């Protein structure tokens, strides 16, 4: 008995998490691979002339069940990364990688595809079918079809090695983040920290046998709060060193060798396929098309933000000198004095808004907002199995015709063996072709800290934005109408995928959205207008320096993937040169950020971290339409849903964006929102 195989035909109705054990994944995948190999040979051996159905749709069908098993495994693993689940992944990924390599490097199928591709203008294809043909043709070329046998073999070996190395990088990063501890026994040194942060640290210390002390880790929310509010400069320095060094020269979780190996293999993979670098290989399939264009975008933005960034740091230096007599802002001072300056100029800090965002009330209002915007109803299901008791399940229905859009698994609280951060992944994709159909099942995961029993879980404003961000990714999948799984939902270019997610964050930054989403958890009162105005003003606060710091990470990613890996050398020295050559803050550089750059070495953002900044330009430009027409204007929301959310990867991203915006993207809205000046405006002064 294997619940995955036994219920394969009905997984799109309900995933039997209560029956699936870690031991079920490997035999299920092996059984389905045996079946897929038979179907693979049938596609190759088909004596009929190639057509869209017997070649393209047959290839799409080939992977559906395999990817469903892998997605259910990986989506569960991200939330429950036990040792046994990690070991299981080491068995699963090489198998699926080997099969995908064999398929995408197969010359017989490539010949069939090429026949169709060369006749594509003669075929009566829909826009989506034409895109599928073009993408499939490119995928086979990028998979090694047409290369010599030894080159194909090497590409397959590289894929296998990369899967294992990237998994190991991620495991090291998660374990190092969980294991780091800053133990403080003197309460006086923790002046300035919010009560909730202190309570959590005290509870953690007690669990570890340190009654009367406090233990802080470097998970995202803890680190950010500590660096913004802890008045003790030396403790901030220790926390900064801690996060910089969690995977550098670590006795148990060092990632230096892994980074070098991953970069070397990626470079070799690109060269075998005829590309000068891995960055060129990756960006060919992105909206910006080349690393040169991506770097030019970053350089142009850098030119714009640099004067404002220097002005930000000068203001922080003046404040620090006034408060302490010390002028130079070091790396571990930036967040602390940014928060003090915010309090002085805007008369609020990030903790001020927390009482207005109680989790249960916020969730209810968020779902109500999505209904108002897109006409989607979220129906709570308590009768379905989950992989953990924390998970809430919602069926999503289009209120206009009661049509099912899919299902959401909401998993919000931090726990051991769960990946840090926030993300949206798919258990099951959406598709409808060749008498097969499914609606997407998506997992929306976060690491919020649960309040003590009987207390309200209150969110920071940044946490609310992140929740909206991930909900935007979920909507991209739920609203998808693409027929083919490889084009459905968020299966789009990496530098386009963040548009729906970053766009949705805007609603909590607008008065109309705030009125709907926020209310005091005790009094029920709305956020006072004065506080709303301060929040609006904060959109421009320290934007120059914040963009400058984000530019440094984006540039580092591209440099790592453009550079010959043999010339990178010691990662501390490489990173230190990068982060100090054009730095706006001072102080020594510790450790290596590259060694914990999980987005790049364990995620999908290799040579693509710039995508967040590019998507911010897109979403600011797109949201300008909502702002002009009204943030709940139905016609605008419907057009965005039809043009962007529903279409997935069925057409080129620029084509889809132009359809919504009726022109090319412009950076004017982004600069205006951030209070920055264009080069022309700077020159005129």
HEC per residue, 189-204: HHCCCCHHHHHHHHHH
Strand ranges for 353-455 from DSSP E: 376-381, 392-398, 403-413, 423-428, 431-433, 436-438, 441-448
> DSSP letters along 81-122, please?
--HHHHHHHHHHHHHHHHHHHHHHT-HHHHHHHHHHHHTTTT
Two structure tokens written together for 300: 């142009």
Adjacent-strand bridge partners of 432: 437
Q: pLDDT below 50 — which residues of the chain?
A: none
The answer, as to whether pTM is greater than 0.85, is: yes
What is the 8-class DSSP label of residue 55? I
pLDDT value for 679: 57
- CA 426 to CA 409: how far, in whole Å? 10
Could you give the residue ranges of the DSSP H alpha helices within 505-610?
511-517, 529-538, 543-562, 571-581, 598-601
Residue 350's pLDDT is what? 76
For residue 664, the 8-state DSSP code is -
Residue 563 pLDDT = 95
User: Can you tell me the distance from the alpha carbon of 157 to that of 616, in angstroms, rounded to the nearest whole number?
Assistant: 37
Taking CA atoms, 261 is separated from 35, 158, 478, in Å, by 34, 11, 37
Rounded distance, CA 670 to CA 664, Å? 14
| pLDDT value for 420 | 85
How far apart CA 444 and CA 466 sit, in angstroms, is: 11
C-alpha–C-alpha distance, residues 454 and 212, integer Å: 23
| Angstrom distance (rounded) from CA 338 to CA 315 | 9
3-class DSSP assignment, residue 396? strand
pLDDT of residue 538: 87
Per DSSP, the three-state class of 373 is helix
- Using a 10 angstrom Cβ sphere, with 0-12 exposed, 13-18 middle and 19 or more buried, the burial of residue 223 is buried
């Amino acid at each position: 008995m294997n619940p995955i195989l036994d219920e394969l035909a009905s997984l799109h109705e309900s995933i039997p998490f209560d029956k699936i054990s870690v031991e079920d994944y490997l035999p299920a995948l092996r059984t389905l691979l045996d079946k897929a190999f038979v179907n693979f040979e049938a596609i190759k051996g088909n004596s009929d002339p190639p057509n869209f159905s017997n070649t393209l749709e047959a290839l799409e069908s080939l992977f559906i069940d395999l990817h469903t098993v892998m997605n259910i495994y990986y989506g569960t693993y991200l939330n429950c990364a036990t040792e046994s689940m990690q070991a299981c992944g080491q068995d699963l990924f090489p198998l699926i990688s080997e099969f995908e390599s064999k398929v995408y490097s197969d010359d017989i199928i490539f010949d069939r595809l090429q026949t169709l591709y060369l006749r594509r203008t003669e075929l009566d294809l829909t826009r989506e079918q034409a895109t599928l043909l073009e993408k499939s043709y490119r995928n086979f070329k990028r998979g090694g079809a047409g290369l010599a046998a030894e080159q194909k073999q090497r590409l397959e070996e590289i894929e296998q090695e990369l899967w294992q190395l990237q998994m190991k990088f991620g495991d090291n990063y998660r374990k190092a983040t969980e294991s780091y501890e800053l133990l403080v026994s003197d309460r006086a040194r923790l002046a300035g920290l919010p009560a909730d942060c202190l309570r959590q640290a005290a509870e953690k210390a007690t669990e570890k046998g340190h009654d009367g002390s406090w233990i802080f880790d470097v998970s995202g929310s803890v680190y950010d709060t500590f660096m913004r509010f802890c008045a003790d400069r030396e403790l901030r320095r220790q926390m900064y060193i801690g996060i910089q060094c969690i995977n550098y020269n670590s006795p148990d979780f060092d990632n230096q060798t892994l980074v070098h190996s991953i970069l070397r293999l990626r470079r070799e993979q690109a060269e075998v396929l005829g590309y000068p670098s891995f960055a060129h290989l990756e960006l060919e399939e992105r909206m910006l098309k080349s690393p040169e264009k991506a770097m030019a975008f970053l350089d142009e933005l850098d030119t714009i933000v640099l004067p404002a960034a220097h002005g930000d740091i000068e203001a922080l230096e003046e404040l620090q000198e006034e408060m302490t007599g010390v002028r130079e802002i070091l790396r571990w001072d930036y967040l602390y004095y940014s928060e003090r300056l915010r309090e002085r100029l805007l008369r609020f800090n990030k903790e001020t808004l927390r009482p207005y965002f109680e989790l249960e009330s916020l969730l209810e209002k968020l779902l109500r907002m999505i209904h108002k915007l897109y006409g989607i109803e979220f129906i709570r299901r308590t009768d379905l199995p989950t992989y953990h008791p924390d998970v809430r399940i919602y069926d999503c229905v289009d209120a206009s015709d009661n049509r099912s859009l899919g299902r959401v698994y909401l998993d919000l609280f931090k726990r051991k063996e769960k990946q840090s951060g926030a993300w949206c992944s798919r258990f099951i994709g959406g598709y409808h072709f060749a008498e097969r159909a499914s609606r997407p099942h998506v997992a929306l995961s976060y690491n919020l800290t649960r309040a003590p029993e009987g207390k309200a879980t209150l969110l920071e404003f940044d946490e609310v934005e992140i929740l909206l961000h991930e909900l935007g990714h979920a909507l991209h999948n739920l609203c998808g109408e693409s027929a083919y799984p490889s084009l459905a939902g968020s299966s789009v270019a990496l530098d386009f995928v963040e548009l729906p997610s970053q766009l949705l964050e805007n609603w909590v930054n607008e008065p109309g959205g705030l009125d709907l989403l926020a209310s005091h958890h005790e009094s029920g009162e709305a956020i006072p207008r004065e506080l709303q105005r301060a929040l609006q003003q904060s959109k421009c606060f320290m934007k120059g320096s914040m963009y400058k710091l984000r530019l440094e990470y984006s540039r580092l990613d591209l440099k790592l993937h453009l550079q010959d890996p043999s010339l990178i050398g010691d990662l501390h020295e490489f990173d230190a040169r990068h982060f100090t050559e054009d730095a706006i803050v001072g102080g020594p550089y510790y450790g290596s950020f590259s060694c914990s750059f999980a987005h790049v070495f364990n995620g999908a953002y290799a040579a693509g971290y710039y995508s967040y900044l590019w998507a911010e330009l897109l979403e600011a430009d797109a949201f300008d339409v909502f702002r002009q027409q009204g943030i709940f204007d139905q016609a605008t929301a419907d057009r965005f849903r039809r043009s962007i959310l529903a279409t997935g990867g069925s057409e080129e991203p620029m084509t889809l964006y132009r359809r919504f915006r009726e022109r090319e993207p412009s950076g004017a809205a982004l600069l205006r929102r951030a209070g920055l000046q264009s080069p022309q405006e700077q020159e005129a002064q």
